[in-house]
Amino acid sequence: MQEYPKPLAKLITELQKLPTIGQKTAQRLAFFMLKLPDTETAQIAEAIAQVKQHLSYCDICGTITDTNPCYICTNPRRDRQVICVVEESDDLWAIERTNGYKGLYHVLGGVLSPLDGTGPDELGINTLFQRIRGATADREPVREVILATNWTTEGQATALYLIQHLETFEVAVTRIAYGIPVGGDLEYIDEVTLAKALEGRRKV
C-alpha cells in the first residue's frame, strides 16, 4: 500500500484485522472515516478505548461485562438452576435477543481444538464443573445444563466432551435443537441440515 500516505496505509492495514474485512472493504472504511468530522472520528476512537479499558470478564459466567459479576448472574429473576453453555459472549447475546430463555449462562471462551492448542484447561470448563458442584457464588443446585455450542466439528467435539464429563453430575444435560429454520423452504435446505432435522424429529 505504498501508493497511500503512511497514516492512511496504516489505518487500512489495521482495519483488515477486523473479522470479514478484506482490503477493499478496509479501503472504503478508511476513506469514509477521512470524510467524517473530527468530532465523530474522535468518538469512534474513544469508544474503542472505552471498550478495552472498562470491560472485563464476569467471574461467574465468563461473559464480557462492565460490572462484575454481570447483571445476568446477579439478576434475582433468572432461573438459577439452569445453565446454558455457549462458546462466546456474542452467542449469549444472540440467545438473549430471543427473550425466550430466563436461566443463567456459562461462556467457555472458545471450543476444543487440539490443532490450535486449545484444550479443556484453556477454556472455562473446570469453572463450569465448579458451578455445578456449588463451589462458587451460584449456591442453588443446578438441575439442567443446556449445551448451546455451535454445530461445527469443534463445537460438536466440545459438546461431546462436556456430555461425557457431566454424566458424573446429577443434572439433566440437553442440547439445543437443530434443523430447518422457521420459514425455511425444503427445496433450498442443504442435505446435512435436512438429514439432521429428520433425525431430530419429535412426536406431535
Q: What are the domain boundaries of the chain?
A: 6-54, 64-175
Cα–Cα dist 85/89, whole Å:
10
Q: Rounded CA gap, 111 and 119, in Å?
A: 8
Structure confidence at residue 144 (pLDDT) = 93
Using an 8 Å Cβ cutoff, are 83 and 136 in contact?
A: no
Identify the pLDDT of residue 59. Answer: 93
pLDDT at 90 (0 to 100): 92
Distance of CA 3 to the CA centre of its chain: 39
- Where is 103: in which H helix or E strand? strand 103-107
Give the pairing of strands 144-147 and 79-86: parallel
Q: What does 33-95 look like in DSSP terms, one character per residue?
A: HHHS-HHHHHHHHHHHHHHHHH-EE-TTT--EESSSS-TTTT-TTSEEEEEEEESSHHHHHHH
* Terminal C-alpha separation, the chain: 60
Q: Do the two domains 6-54 and 64-175 of this chain adopt the same fold? A: no
**Cα(196)–Cα(200) distance, rounded to whole angstroms?**
6
CA atoms of 131 and 127, how far apart (whole Å): 6
CB 115: neighbour CB atoms within 10 A?
Answer: 6
Report the pLDDT value the prediction gives residue 187, as an integer from 0 to 100: 76
**pLDDT, tens digit (0-9, with 9 covering 90-100), for 9-37:** 999 999 999 989 999 999 999 999 999 99
Classify domain 6-54 at the CATH superfamily level.
RecR Domain 1 (1.10.8.420)
Cα 87–chain centre separation: 5
- Helix 125-133, helix 153-166: angle, nearest 10: 30
Q: What pLDDT, on a 0 to 100 scale, did the predictor assign at position 100?
A: 86
- Residues of the chain short of pLDDT 70, as ranges, are 1-2, 135-139, 186, 202-204
3-state secondary structure of 162: helix
Strands 64-65 and 56-57: antiparallel
Pick the CATH number of 64-175 from 3.40.1360.10, 3.40.50.1000, 3.20.20.70, 3.40.50.300: 3.40.1360.10
Give the pLDDT score at 1.
44
CA dist., res. 164 & res. 93, Å (int): 27
Return the pLDDT at 183.
Answer: 75
